[in-house]
Amino acid sequence: MKGKRLFVRDAKMLIEPVILAAGYGIRLQSIVSDVPKPLADVNGRPFITYLFDQLIDAGFKTVVICIGHLSEKFPEILGKRCYGRLSASTGLPYIDLVYSYEREPMGPGATLKNAFPLIKSEYVLVLNGDTLVNINLNEYIQEFLVSRKVLSVVFSGDKNAGMYIIPSRFIANLNIEEPFHVYQAKGFLDIGTPETYKLAQELLK
């Protein structure tokens, strides 16, 4: 699998990304109240689009986005497709956006379970919509697959970076007691507070 950009087995995508973006973002509402936290403006673009850049660069073509608070803002602002950076070799890459709607607030486990009918892959790459992890996704995925562990958690130092790989069959029961793979990222940026939101404006120029 070395050097592959897409992970495909028997014409099925092996891993599909899911972004958790349904929270209220209470700590950030003092300065960002008109849109959900993942749509907060960072240097002229919604924060979540920086996650899309990572996914596009890794070769993903579709992402499921779990939305709840101010859910109508996501298709209104993002539409159904997000385009990446123009490249001489790949042209104008893109990723299609599939929305999973929550009618009432849920925890992360219930959010994934709600999105389960939209997930077609063997594994799920779970990302938080308000967190950008400094990571090479292809390297991370390949290392996980080689490890043959059941699931994976990304850390930065001793802090959970909020990124996981889990088998889709486990979504119905996330109380998993299995050995898991640990991957160390180079850091992560969470825009959950006014202070870190301000920092994002500086780091993502």
Q: Does domain 8-203 have CATH number 3.90.550.10?
A: yes
**Predicted model pTM:** 0.88
Per-domain boundaries in the chain: 8-203
Burial class (CB within 10 angstroms; exposed 0-12, middle 13-18, buried 19+) of 33: exposed
**Per-chain mean pLDDT for the chain:** 85
Q: Which two tokens stand for residue 77?
A: 């602002």
> 177: pLDDT confidence band, cut at 50, 70 and 90?
low
Query: CB–CB of 188/134 below 8 Å?
Result: yes
Print the SS3 string covering 48-66: HHHHHHHHHHCCCCEEEEE
pLDDT at 178: 61
Q: Which residues pair with 56 in a beta bridge?
A: none
Length, in residues, of the chain: 205
Report the pLDDT averaged over residues 9-25: 74
